[in-house]
Amino acid sequence: MPQRLPDTSTGTSADTAELPEPEPESPHAERLQELLAGLNEPQREAVTHGEGPLLILAGAGSGKTRVLTHRVAFLIYTEQARASEILAITFTNKAAEEMRGRVERLLSRGTRGMWLMTFHAACARILRAEAERLGYTRRFTIYDQADARRLIRRCIDELGIDPKRFTPAAIHSQISAAKNQLHAASDYREAAGSQFEELVADAYERYERELLRMNAMDFDDLLFRAVNVLELYEEVRSRYARAFRHVLVDEYQDTNHAQYRLLQLLVGGGRAPVRGERVQLEGHRNLAVVGDDSQSIYGFRCADIRNILDFRDDFPDARVIKLEQNYRSTQTILRAANAVITNNRGGIAKRLWSELGDGSPVHVRELEDEHAEARFVVGEIERLVDEDPTHPAHAEIAVLYRTNAMSRVIEDALVRREIAYQVIGGTKFYERAEIRDAIAYLSWLANPFDVVSFTRVANSPRRGLGQTSLARIVAHSATTGISVWEAAAAPAEIPGLGAAAVKSLTRFACTMAELAQLVEQRLPVGDLLEAVLSRTGYLEALEAETRGAAEKVIEAQGRIENLDQLVEVAREFDAAASEDDDSLDVFLQQLALVADADSRREDDGLVTLMTLHNAKGLEYPIVFIAGCEDGVFPHSRALDEGALEEERRLFYVGVTRTKRELYLTYARQRSVFGSPTYSLRSRFLDEIPAELTDCEEELVLSRAAPRARAAPRARAGTAAWTGHGRPGGWADSRAPDAPPGRAFRMGEDVVHAAFGEGVVTSVEPGGVIVVRFAGDGSERKLMAEHAPVRRVRSG
DNA sequence: ATCCTGATTTTTTTT
DNA sequence: AAATCAGGAT
């Protein structure tokens, strides 16, 4: 918020570069000594770097967060920056919280005023202050993935696009990618080469119009619009650029183009101008980025690894510091990780080393199926906790997996053995229907144009306002240009609305008008939320269910509990928040950007379960990685898309979470979508030198022929044919490192020697693609490798 | 408008 | 196996 931005008009006098060595009599001298003690040489160099660009290449476990937090403290102690002049960006809320806590401990005081948050949160904050310049109000709504997808679905319905042929998800991911490259709808249209891309352009244009009309932004817009506003208004850009005298970015390898551009706008610098691109900006260039190209795992979110690889092109004078000493893992684990990652090409050479000794070998286990795997993991956890000489606590153990769906079986096994655990991520608190309903009520109160929230809430609880009535209300608001709120307030004006619907809507609008009064009166959001839940009849409807049919009772009770929890969250917010005029907006913004309420707890005697992606940045003495099978990890879809190297980096991330004991397990058989699938052990397992593992038979065989053991199992995989009509299983998709050009993607235009032109409507495991042909409209499954089919060059 | 049922689809990964 | 969807009956 601009009013909170410090006045930095006073120039830069004493607080510039030259003070790595503190004056002995400086008031902070003692604290500075303390701060720098215990850092190794390169770490200290990074922490005490003065002004100007800084690239820290930080291998896994090399004390990256330590360097960042200490650097922030250093900047403040040496008075190179005040708290409010620091912008420190992380990728996840979890990381931001972690960092805030550690900085507070270092400074032994609060960090208020410091912008320590995710990219998205920082952008949202900038936009709440500046969005009016772009035609939004400051109370704009943030649509999450699900909301955005609903809206896209409506757009493509209205365009008459067959949602079977082009799914909302496929179109959304195209639009999302475009936004992350800072391509507006018009840019996308210009570049569109295929029929599919033309359709996406139509959808994109409409979607954008709708978002603006609804005064709403999706996640990608937060970045895109923030960049827009900084590019369009030099005065805004320079204000923020001056305000943030030091910008620090964690996980820089995961930045995408929009994020990259945002940073350039804030600090100046940038690559040589590309045609049509405005680069080369004035600025203080106090940008410190930390990252590890080997841990880049967000390519699917348009992360561009070149941002870190080319940092020195952007800032030729950048100081580059490598952190290569690992303080986390045993030598064995590091060797295993390094051995795997060397199979990737390119990247920045690093020599990670550790003084922690060899430790145990990597434990590799083959199990019959996912249930046996889960039992093994749980049994081993019990054994370690009871028998291991180090007596690890449950909290020191993490179980990692590739996809959220895999947690279930492991959870079951843990429950059976009565071991307490926590799942990070997965089914998120805020994705539950009742929570989303409650939030939608609040969103519509805050933003009367928010059609998505209105349609979610209007008939929940049941008020007899079905699809047809809702469509009429929305259409009326669109044609007359009034907000849905206003449209709903005057039901009689809406053409075609039935008498019953008019009556019902009148009542509903009245209730909402009353609640809007409460918003006007600045009721604390906790109280407001309670009022919403009771006056709209939402809670009542749920309570009615607890007295109804037996099966639904438990569920309804759970929902009520969840809502109580949300009220609790709101009350905590009220307690913490200052007396803001717009607390409802701030609260909603916070909810939109914080993924899960039940966040990670420590020292709680809980085993932790999470996806490999969620594990980034964390460490555990004991780590299990389950599902090390080709097709699962590396994921079959990643293989199809030629993203093997990214999967390998993900594996690297998983392995390097481990301090001491690493378990890699795989199952010969696993149920996928309810039907049994046979698979081979992950190729990544074979990339670990056998002498580092405890699987002795493997040692002999895999030296001779790495796939020797796998081969017979490939034949065992013949059962896949008898199994459940998934011919080939993963075995065929195994064509190692297939050139990325080979893989077909959904929506691509292709031409077949016999059937003519068509479009890829789905990509299946085993190199099978489904193509719908324009000629006769037929849909056929083809083996991508062998069928006489090729991609039509778009354009 | 709502509810039921059978069919179809879903699983990457996250802000 | 679970969740969502489409179509039809009430």
Q: For residue A521, is pLDDT > 70?
A: yes
**Residue with CA nearest C5 C1'?**
A164
DSSP A328: S
Instruction: Inform me whether the pLDDT recorded for A584 exceeds 80.
Output: yes
Give the residue with minimal CA–C1' separation from C1.
A674
User: Does residue A276 have a pLDDT over 60?
Assistant: no
Contact, A674 CB vs strand C, < 7 Å: yes
d(Cα A679, Cα A629) in Å, to the nearest integer? 6
pLDDT score for A409: 93
- Which token pair is A279? 């680069």
Confidence of residue A38 (pLDDT cuts 50, 70, 90): confident
Q: What is the dihedral of CA A467, A473, A478, A481, to 10 degrees?
A: -160
Q: Is A581 noted as a catalytic residue in this protein?
A: no
Which ranges of A388-464 does DSSP label H, i.e. alpha helix? 407-416, 433-446, 451-457
Higher pLDDT, A206 or A158: A206
**pLDDT of A599:** 57
pLDDT for the residue numbered A695: 73
CA angle A364, A293, A57 (to 5 degrees): 110
CA of A472 to C1' of B3 (A): 23
Give, to the nearest 10 degrees, the angle between helix A499-520 and helix A525-535: 160
Structure confidence at residue A89 (pLDDT)? 96
Identify whether A250 is a catalytic site residue.
Answer: yes
Catalytic site residue A80? no
- Residue A28 clears pLDDT 80, i.e. is over it: no
Q: Among the listed ranges A256-270, A271-285, A312-326, A477-491, which one has the minimum average pLDDT value? A: A271-285
Helix (H) or strand (E) holding A623: strand A620-625
Strand B closer than 7 A to residue A466 Cβ: yes
The pLDDT score that the predictor gives to residue A308 is 93
Query: What is the tens place of the pLDDT at every residue in A751-792?
Result: 776 666 776 766 655 566 666 666 555 566 666 666 667 776
Q: Per mean pLDDT, which of A575-579, A681-685, A701-705 is the most reliable?
A: A681-685
Q: How far apart are CA A646 and CA A303, in angstroms?
A: 11
The reported pLDDT for the residue numbered A420 is: 92
Single-letter code of the amino acid located at A431: E
pLDDT for residue A134 is more than 50: yes
CA distances from A738 to A214, A355, A741 (A): 45, 38, 8
Which nucleotide is at minimal CA–C1' distance from A408?
Answer: C1
| Strand B contacted by A724 CB (< 7 A) | no
What pLDDT is attached to residue A332?
96
pLDDT category, A162, cuts 50, 70, 90?
Answer: confident
pLDDT at A592 over 80: yes
Structure tokens at A783: 């083996």
Does residue A342 have a pLDDT over 50? yes
In this structure, of A78-87, A605-614, A728-737, the range with the lowest mean pLDDT score is A728-737
Instruction: State the pLDDT at residue A107.
Output: 87
Read off the pLDDT of residues A112-123 as tens digits, 9 standing for 90 and up: 889 999 999 999
Structure tokens at A293: 């190209």
What's the Å distance between residue A199 CA and nucleotide C9 C1'? 37
Residue indicated by tokens 């799942």: A423
- Proximity of residue A676 CB to strand C below 7 A: no
pLDDT at A517: 96
Within A 570-599, residues with CB less than 7 Å from strand B: 593, 595
Share of chain A above pLDDT 90, in %: 56
- The integer distance in angstroms from the CA atom of A591 to the C1' atom of B1 is 33
Residue A194: which residues within 8 A CB-CB, separation 6 or more? A747, A748, A749, A792, A794
Round and report the angstrom distance from CA (A329) to C1' (B4).
56
Task: Please report the pLDDT score of residue A735 as a whole number.
Answer: 32
Nucleotide nearest to A594 (CA to C1'): B15
Does the active-site annotation cover A181?
A: no
A448 pLDDT exceeds 80?
Answer: yes
What is the predicted pLDDT for the residue at A739? 32
Would you state the pLDDT for residue A725? Answer: 27
State how far the alpha carbon of A471 is from the alpha carbons of A141, A451, A476, in Å.
21, 10, 8
A635 touches strand B (CB under 7 A): yes
Dump pLDDT digits (tens) for A354-364.
Answer: 999 999 999 99
Q: How far is the CA of A189 from the C1' of C9 (A)?
A: 45
pLDDT of amino acid A9: 34
Candidate list A44, A64, A179, A772, residue with the active-site label: A64
Determine the pLDDT at residue A732: 31
pLDDT at A165 over 90: no
Averaged pLDDT for residues A229-235: 94
Average pLDDT over residues A321-348: 93
Pure H helices in A131-214 = 145-158, 168-180, 185-191, 195-213
Nearest to A723 by CA among A679, A683, A781, A682: A679
A740 contact to strand B (CB, 7 A limit): no
Gap from A613 CA to B13 C1', in Å? 6
What is the model's pLDDT at position A426? 73
Q: CA A416, CA A420: separation in Å to the nearest integer?
A: 10
pLDDT at A590: 87
Residue A204 has pLDDT above 50, yes or no: yes
Cβ of A777 less than 7 A from strand C: no
Residue type, A419: I
For chain A, give the mean pLDDT.
Answer: 83
- Lowest-pLDDT range, A330-344, A354-368, A715-729? A715-729
Average pLDDT over residues A684-690: 95
* Percent of all residues in chain A with a pLDDT value above 70, rounded to a whole number: 81
CB A614 under 7 Å to nucleic chain B? yes
Q: Where are the alpha helices (DSSP H) in A595-732?
A: 636-640, 644-655, 683-686, 696-704, 710-716, 719-724
Q: Greater confidence, A536 or A599?
A: A536
A497 touches strand B (CB under 7 A): no
* CA distance linking residue A488 with residue A484, whole number of Å: 6
pLDDT band, very low/low/confident/very high, at A535 (cuts 50, 70, 90): very high
pLDDT at A447 over 70: yes
Å from the A553 CA to the B4 C1': 20
AA letter at A708: A
